[in-house]
């Protein structure tokens, strides 16, 4: 291979794995919020986050702006960035729309899942069972992978796109963090869905998916209402940033 071509390929490979400081801070803050390390209503202080990540305030501020634009944070005058609280009505509406779209996408996907697809889904559920019993921080991503592995087999591009958008939006609801007691039930429902898919029973798969998503939405909406009633008045509390581990830490 010509040296210039090889060098260009290596450069492109390096760039593909390159992430800016802003991207790194954004991903770590988003994952920390998703996992519940920054509770709803807590204030993010750029100086503290910058110190914790060993960077300047500029990438932190840029990451905060992006997170606010995506709905993870709210910007309040004289307060700054605050982790968005759950809105009971938004939670319920999101679950209704998602359930409507995803259940239909699953119905159309049911007859298109291959043996390899089904084996992959079963492997994901085994990992999700382990996450329920151990560190649940991995559960939201595994849950997203499971659901998307099904509905992405839907043959209709627009339905796939809309369903993906709603599934990603649902990540912001942090169901796993706020309803940990629901995890055993949600896993049972996942296994029931897999059983229907293995039988290629489109009717059952559609019903199970719709009921599964709507039930989680109702529970989380009620949790949000209870949280709003019990929320203390006053300024948001300051979130303590997580220190980024060194090379000698896990």
197: nearest Cα among 215, 212, 180, 178: 212
Report domain 88-230's class.
mainly alpha
pLDDT in tens, 190-234: 999 999 999 999 999 999 999 999 999 999 999 888 877 766 444
What is the predicted pLDDT for the residue at 232? Answer: 45
Locate the domains of the chain by residue range.
Answer: 18-85+232-250, 88-230
Dihedral sign for Cα atoms in the order 82, 88, 90, 96: positive
With beta carbons less than 8 A apart as the criterion, state whether 220 and 212 touch: no
Q: How far apart are CA 202 and CA 47, in angstroms?
A: 52
DSSP state of 56: -
What is the predicted pLDDT for the residue at 103? Answer: 98
Tokens for 110, please give them. 């049911």
* The model's pTM: 0.72
The arithmetic mean of pLDDT across residues 69-84, rounded, is 86
Question: Cα dist. 119→102, 123, 130 in Å?
Answer: 21, 6, 17
Are 18-85+232-250 and 88-230 equal in CATH topology?
no
Between 173 and 199, the more confident residue is 199
What is the predicted pLDDT for the residue at 230? Answer: 67
Instruction: Give the count of beta carbons closer than 10 Å to the beta carbon of residue 75.
Output: 13
For residues 222, 228, 230, 235, the Cα torsion angle rounded to the nearest 10 degrees is 160
Q: Does the pLDDT of residue 140 top 70, yes or no? A: yes
What is the Cα 26 distance to its own chain's centre? 14
Phi and psi dihedrals of 43, rounded to 5?
-95, 135
Angle at 107 between CA 199 and CA 156, to 5 degrees: 130
The arithmetic mean of pLDDT across residues 18-42, rounded, is 82
| Residue-wise DSSP of 94-152 | HHHHHHHHHHHHHHHHGGG--HHHHHHHHHHHHHHHHHHHS-GGGHHHHHHHHHHHHHT
Q: How far apart are CA 186 and CA 215, in angstroms?
A: 9
SS3 189: helix
For 18-85+232-250, the fitting CATH number among 1.25.40.10, 1.10.10.10, 3.40.190.10, 3.90.245.10 is 1.10.10.10
The arithmetic mean of pLDDT across residues 15-33, rounded, is 77
| Residue-wise DSSP of 10-32 | HHHHHHHT---HHHHHHHHHHHH
């Amino acid at each position: 291979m010509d040296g210039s071509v090889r060098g260009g390929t290596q450069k492109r490979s390096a760039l593909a794995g390159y992430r800016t400081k802003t991207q790194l801070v954004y991903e770590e803050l988003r994952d920390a919020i998703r996992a519940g390390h920054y509770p709803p209503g807590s204030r993010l202080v750029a100086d503290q986050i910058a110190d914790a990540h060993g960077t300047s305030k500029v990438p932190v501020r840029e990451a905060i702006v992006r997170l606010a634009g995506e709905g993870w944070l709210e910007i309040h005058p004289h307060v700054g960035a605050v982790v968005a609280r759950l809105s009971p009505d938004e939670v319920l509406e999101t679950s209704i729309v998602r359930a409507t779209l995803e259940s239909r996408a699953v119905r159309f996907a049911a007859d298109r899942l291959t043996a390899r697809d089904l084996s992959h889904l079963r492997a994901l559920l085994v990992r999700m069972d382990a996450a329920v019993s151990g560190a649940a921080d991995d559960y939201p991503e595994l849950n997203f992978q499971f659901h998307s592995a099904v509905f992405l087999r839907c043959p209709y591009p627009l339905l796939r796109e809309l369903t993906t958008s709603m599934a990603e939006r649902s990540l912001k609801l942090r169901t796993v963090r706020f309803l940990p007691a629901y995890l055993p039930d949600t896993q049972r429902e996942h296994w029931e869905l897999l059983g229907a898919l293995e039988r290629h029973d489109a009717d059952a798969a559609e019903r199970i998916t719709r009921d599964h998503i709507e039930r989680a939405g109702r529970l989380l909406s009620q949790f949000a209402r209870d949280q709003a009633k019990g929320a203390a008045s006053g300024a948001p509390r300051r979130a303590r940033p997580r220190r980024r581990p060194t090379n000698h830490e896990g």
